Amino acid sequence: MYSIDTVRMVMADGDGNAAGKELQEATELYRKGSDTAKSIELFKRSILLRPTAKAYFELAGALLSSRQYKEGLDALTIAEKLGYTPLANLMFRYAYAYANIPDDATATTNSDAAVTYMELAIQMGYAHPLQFLKKDIFPNLSVNRQFDATYTAALSGGAGNDPEKSLWNTYQVQFPEIQLPLVIDNAWINAHKPQAEISYQYERFIPEIRKARFSREGGDTYYYIALIKKDARYVAVLYCTVPEEVDGPNEVTQFYLISYSREGKIIDKMSVAGRSDLSGESKLFSIQPNLHFQVREGNEPPQSYQIAGGGKFERTEPPLALR
């Protein structure tokens, strides 16, 4: 079934009508999501009756959704050699398969292959490039060190794309959504090790990154933490910094709340949690669904703020219970 020479030998024979019926039944069953294993059986039955590029492509989708990634890649390879179109959709599935196979010790890791196929898919005009940024589809793709630069360059190269807008869109969508209220204290920091590193190419959105980029000592590492608010006027996010020399992220981690215009210009910024060095007092940050938040440093009284309608951080009176 996965030998292209054998497939091409039998393509002219077989029952095309019966194969088409099996393919339609398999596709409908797969899209309902009720019995993927049965749909795989039907896709293969259709191929045995008469192989087509479409049948192999659809079979690959069912295999990938049931985590049979290596066989899914075999099916995609045959679909490609049979001339499946649109080719961008095929590249997307290649990227998905490689992104979900754990890296091995080979010279080219699976995540590198995933980034390469992502780039090809976007360059070929894949209609939904933002899917590559979705953690539920590609949970580990953005961790690859080549991802940010490759994604932005590929997206910027498309007809009619604005490189600066593409860079901003790529940056902002990588902050994970969270449910408010949120409290960041030492216990929270200990339990949430930062993982998604912010690339140096986003220095225009976090100017301190430029210092880290050119520091002889290596500087801080910056991480995406959370999307706090996104509406028609502004975007507010949380990121953190961790000095390169610290042993653990909970020792010296500083969290910043920052707001941007919808075009990516900084509106306001504030250090809200953690600490910048071992000798300093830790800050505690809490924010409510109505975007009122408090920052408390050490044993000092908490300072109360709100994110105003235009994205500015404004001082407010503390709640009555704290007066």
Do 155 and 161 form a contact (C-beta atoms < 8 A)?
A: yes
Same domain, 188 and 159: no
CA within 13 Å, CB half, 270: 23
Of 155, 170, 185, the domain-final residue = 170
Task: Give the SS3 label for residue 296.
Answer: strand
- Identity of residue 80: E
Q: Comparing C-alpha atoms, which of 89, 101, 169 is closest to residue 128?
A: 89
Same domain, 107 and 228: no
For the whole model, what pTM was predicted? Answer: 0.67
User: What is the reported pLDDT for 217?
Assistant: 52
Q: Comparing C-alpha atoms, which of 51, 60, 41, 58 is closest to residue 16?
A: 51
Q: How many domains does the chain have?
A: 2
Same domain, 118 and 220: no
Same domain, 160 and 64: yes
User: What is the reported pLDDT for 34?
Assistant: 80
The CA-based angle 264-265-270, given to 5 degrees, is: 105
Residue 280 belongs to domain spanning: 176-322
The one-digit pLDDT tens for each residue of the chain (323 residues) are 999 999 999 888 888 899 999 999 999 999 998 899 999 999 999 999 999 999 999 999 999 999 999 999 999 999 999 999 999 999 999 999 999 987 765 545 888 999 999 999 999 989 898 899 888 888 878 778 888 889 888 887 755 566 677 788 888 988 988 999 999 999 999 899 888 888 888 888 998 887 666 554 556 889 999 999 999 999 999 999 988 765 554 568 999 999 999 999 999 999 999 987 777 789 999 999 999 999 999 889 999 999 999 999 999 987 655 54
CATH assignment of the domain containing 124:
1.25.40.10
The contacts of residue 231 (CB under 8 Å, 6+ apart) are none
Same domain, 53 and 149: yes
Same domain, 152 and 8: yes
Say if residue 51 is exposed, middle or buried (CB neighbours under 10 Å; 0-12, 13-18, 19+): buried
One DSSP character per residue, 232-283 reads SSEEEEEEEEEETT-SSTTTS-EEEEEEEETTS-EEEEEEEEE-SSTTSPPE
Same domain, 127 and 274: no
Same domain, 249 and 151: no
Same domain, 164 and 254: no
| 125 Rama class: left (phi>0) / alpha (psi -120 to 50) / beta | left
Query: In 10 A of CB 269, how many CB atoms?
Result: 14
Same domain, 23 and 67: yes
Same domain, 26 and 156: yes
Do 2 and 75 form a contact (C-beta atoms < 8 A)?
A: yes
> What is the C-alpha to C-alpha distance for residues 244 and 249, in angstroms, rounded to an integer?
10
Same domain, 216 and 147: no
Of 170, 204, 232, the domain-final residue = 170
User: What is the reported pLDDT for 289?
Assistant: 96
